[in-house]
Amino acid sequence: MASTNDLKNGMVLKLEGGKLWSVVEFQHVKPGKGPAFVRTKLKEVLTGKVVDKTFNAGTKVETANVDKRTMQFSYKDGENFVFMDMTTYDQLTIEPVVVGDAAKYLLEGFEATVAQNEGSVLYIELPAAVELTIAETEPGVQGDRSTGGTKPATLETGAEIQVPLFVTTGEKVKVDTRDGSYLGRVK
C-alpha cells in the first residue's frame, strides 16, 4: 500500500477489481479552498487504455509488484515463444497473445524486457529499434515517384515494411519496433 502523495511516473497500481494501471503522469493540486487532491493519467497495463483519475490527497492505493527482466528470445515452440532469463538461465514460455506485434521483429538471440506480476507475463517490451536483414524486395525503378520514393520489403522475420528505392535485398536496416518504420541502413 502507498499513499497518493507517494506516486511516481511508471509506478503500477492495482485498482478496480485487480486491474493493473501504470502511472503516466500525476499532479498534486492544492486549490485555494477545499481539500488537496492528486490528478493522474493512468494507462491500463494489459490493454493500453489511458484514463484520467482524481484521488483525494493522502488516499491509500494498492501498488503492484511488477518484475521487469531482460530476457533473450531463444526459439519458437509451435505457436508459443520461449525466452531465457539471462541471469538464472530459466526458460519461460510466452503465448503469442502476450507477445503481440513484437513477434514481427523477434529473431533468435534478440533481447527484450519481460514484465511479470505474480507469475503471469504482462507484456514484452523490445528496444526502440532493431537491426534486421532485408529478405526480399523488388529493385527500385528510377523515376517511379508516385509512391513517394518507397517500396515494400520483407524482413528476415517475415514482417513487411516500406523502404526507400535504393535499398536492396540482403542489406541490413534499422527498423523502429513501435511503428515498423524504416530508420536507415546499417553499415
Look at residue 77 in the predicted model and tell me its pLDDT.
86
Buried/exposed 145-184: b ≥16 CB within 10 Å, e otherwise: eeeeeebebebebebebebebebeeeeebebebeeeebee
Q: Which domain holds residue 9?
A: 2-63
Q: Which of 14, 41, 63 is the last residue of a domain?
A: 63
Look at residue 130 in the predicted model and tell me its pLDDT.
87
pLDDT tens-place string over residues 8-25:
887 888 887 778 888 888
Helix (H, G, I), strand (E, B) or coil at 101: helix
| pLDDT of residue 34 exceeding 80 | yes
CATH number, domain containing residue 83: 2.40.50.140
49 with 78, same domain: the answer is no
pLDDT tens-place string over residues 133-159:
888 888 866 665 555 678 888 888 888
Look at residue 145 in the predicted model and tell me its pLDDT.
59
Look at residue 129 in the predicted model and tell me its pLDDT.
87
57 with 72, same domain: the answer is no
Q: Which of 92, 109, 125 is the last residue of a domain?
A: 125
pLDDT tens-place string over residues 86-126:
888 888 888 888 888 888 888 888 888 888 888 788 888 88
Mean pLDDT, residues 76-84 taken together:
88
Q: What is the pTM of this model?
A: 0.68
CATH number, domain containing residue 48: 2.30.30.30
